[in-house]
């Protein structure tokens, strides 16, 4: 049985109107700083895997579990966080999540034991998911509808810009100049700012919560699915997918778990389910949820491929590969603020900036697909900046299109599912591009090796030219021949890698073209279903300030 719980907090008489109007903006600033902790935790292995392997004396298979357990816990905690918001006030949940993130970060920085590190990472994933869901839901309740564009744009600095541009760059520098333990210790000052946000969010408003029982069976089934999904997408490419029995076992486990979860949720509708299917009757949310999966695939996939290209082709040290993404950061901010500002100031339909963002992103990936082994950083900066602009225009608009018309009783679950779609899309995108990269490497190596056969005139001529050059630079003749062979082999490997990465960039550019028919069909189908059965919209009042919503209670 469900029960209603009302919590009443008296406003402090000393609080004057200027402070009351400033408080939400202070919450936004401190909350955005705190949300950067999740960006730090989610990208910690992007460019510093070698440092962690050395520090923990772990094998590649063992170190992979540091990331997989974190991701599985995060995916599981996203829908669970929506349930938690029915049991406690947002400010208390926020404070608890931030305290857990600080504690787990200190735990990670203080240990070099792999088991303890994995345990702390599980806590980081669960707490990070709670922070994102509670924080974004809180912003929807604290600010009126007319301010959501700029508010969500600023919050996206931490959720979109930081993990795709800023944190990989800084983490590589920190690990290279200090120690990998400082990667986690850096969360402490960020978490301190988040505690200020939780304190300021503990306002004096009257709130009404529908307290629901935890769907324990549903949560366990979803946790099994999340674990299997993460393992298959993270490790599938390494083991050539279904050629490895362990991949087949995890795939079977995940398939059985998600089918059982969906069947269980159907039986639980109306009786405190973990996933309330009513939310999918809102056509904007359902369409945005599908698009978030595709957008997450492109976002995290490109963030994976670009640093890998920098290390594999441009010979950047791993610790500095993240700096390749940094020039796109300011343009992400410009796109976020431009789209959010136009939506607020001009009443622009959130759907309108999305095509422009997609076009910018596709153009950037198409430009990168023409890279060569002689490309330099100056050749990459323009498309990376264009990519950043596209991401900014796309994600703030998609967030508002998906969430801003949900009623107050559904906004927490909407935020959780929207983030879940983006995260799962990101995992799928990385796995998809890893597979393309592996297949292209094998194919290009086979094709190009035909031109390096022993006795091939062009090869012999090139080898002699390189050997003569090295001899003129002081090499002994016998050493020059060996060195010339090594130079040709390196050039061959670079050419293979360049062609393979170009195929990945082109695949990302074509992703949205392939997805357009599916998205159009989804939109048309949803329009017909909603027209027949009605939807969940509650009108513009659903995003008005909590003071306005609760004054009639």
Which of 493, 433, 121, 177 lies closest to 307, judged by CA?
Answer: 433
Distances (CA, A) of 206 to 11, 117, 550: 9, 41, 6
Q: What is the mean pLDDT of each run of 10 residues along the chain (553 residues)?
A: 35 38 87 85 71 70 83 92 84 90 87 84 91 90 86 86 74 69 81 85 56 82 94 86 88 94 87 84 85 88 85 74 78 89 86 89 90 78 90 89 83 91 91 90 82 68 71 71 72 84 92 78 64 48 39 34
Buried-exposed string 265-282: b where 16+ CB fall within 10 A, e elsewhere: beebeeebbbbbebbbbb
What the block records as the tokens of 31 is 């909350």
- What are the boundaries of each domain within the chain? 16-214+272-445+493-550
Q: Which residue has the tokens 């990667």?
A: 183
* CATH number of this structure's domain 16-214+272-445+493-550: 1.20.1250.20
Paired strand residues for 207: 7
Contact status, residue 124 vs residue 41, Cβ threshold 8 Å:
yes
Spell out the SS3 assignment of 81-106. HHHHCCCCCHHHHHHHHHHHHHHHHH
Distance in angstroms (rounded) separating the CA atoms of residues 211 and 467:
77
Q: Which residue has the tokens 């500002």?
A: 341
């Amino acid at each position: 049985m469900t029960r209603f719980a009302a919590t009443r907090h008296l406003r402090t008489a000393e609080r004057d109107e200027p402070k009351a109007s400033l408080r939400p903006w202070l919450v936004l600033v401190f909350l955005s700083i705190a949300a950067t902790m999740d960006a730090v935790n989610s990208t910690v292995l992007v460019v510093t895997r070698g440092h962690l392997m050395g520090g923990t004396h772990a094998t590649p298979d063992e170190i992979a579990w540091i990331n997989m357990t974190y991701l599985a816990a995060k995916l599981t905690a996203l829908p669970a966080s929506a349930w938690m918001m029915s049991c406690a006030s947002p400010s208390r949940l926020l404070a608890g999540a931030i305290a857990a993130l600080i504690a787990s970060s200190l735990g990670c920085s203080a240990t070099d034991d792999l088991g303890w590190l994995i345990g702390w990472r599980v806590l980081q994933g669960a707490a990070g998911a709670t922070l994102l869901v509670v924080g974004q839901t809180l912003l929807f309740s604290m600010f009126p509808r007319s301010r959501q564009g700029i508010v969500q744009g600023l919050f996206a600095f931490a959720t979109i810009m930081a993990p795709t541009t800023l944190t990989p760059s800084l983490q590589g520098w920190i690990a290279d100049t200090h120690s990998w333990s400082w990667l986690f210790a850096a969360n402490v000052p960020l978490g301190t700012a988040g505690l200020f946000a939780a304190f300021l969010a503990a306002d004096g408003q009257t709130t009404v919560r529908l307290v629901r029982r935890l769907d324990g069976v549903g949560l366990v089934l979803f946790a099994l699915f999340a674990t299997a999904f993460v393992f298959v997408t993270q490790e599938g490419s390494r083991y050539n997918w279904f050629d490895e029995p362990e991949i087949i076992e995890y795939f079977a486990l995940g398939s059985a778990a998600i089918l059982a979860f969906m069947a269980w949720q159907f039986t639980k509708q109306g009786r405190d389910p973990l996933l309330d299917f009513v939310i999918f009757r809102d056509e904007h949310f359902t369409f945005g949820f599908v698009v978030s999966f595709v957008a997450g695939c492109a976002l995290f996939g490109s963030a994976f491929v670009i640093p890998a290209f920098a290390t594999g082709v441009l010979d950047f040290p791993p610790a500095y590969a993240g700096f390749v993404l940094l020039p796109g950061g300011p343009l992400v901010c410009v796109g976020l603020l431009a789209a959010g500002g136009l939506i607020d100031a001009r009443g622009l339909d959130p759907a309108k900036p999305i095509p422009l963002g997609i076009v910018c992103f596709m153009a950037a990936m198409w430009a990168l697909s023409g890279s060569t082994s002689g490309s330099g950083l100056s050749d990459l900066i323009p498309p990376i900046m264009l990519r950043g602009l596209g991401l900014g225009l796309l994600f703030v608009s998609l967030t508002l299109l998906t969430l801003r018309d949900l009623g107050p009783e559904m906004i927490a679950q909407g935020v959780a599912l929207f983030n879940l779609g983006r995260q799962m899309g990101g995992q799928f995108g990385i796995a998809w591009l890893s597979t393309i990269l592996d297949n292209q490497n094998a194919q290009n190596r086979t094709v190009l090796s035909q031109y390096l056969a022993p006795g091939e005139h062009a090869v012999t001529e090139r080898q002699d030219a390189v050997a003569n050059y090295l001899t003129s630079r002081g090499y002994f003749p016998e050493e020059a021949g060996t060195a010339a062979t090594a130079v040709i082999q390196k050039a061959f490997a670079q050419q293979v890698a360049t062609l393979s990465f170009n195929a990945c960039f082109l695949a990302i550019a074509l992703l949205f073209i392939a997805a357009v028919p599916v998205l159009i069909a989804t939109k048309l189908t949803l329009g017909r279903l909603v027209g027949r059965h009605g939807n969940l919209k509650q009108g513009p009042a659903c995003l008005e300030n909590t003071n306005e919503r609760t004054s009639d209670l």
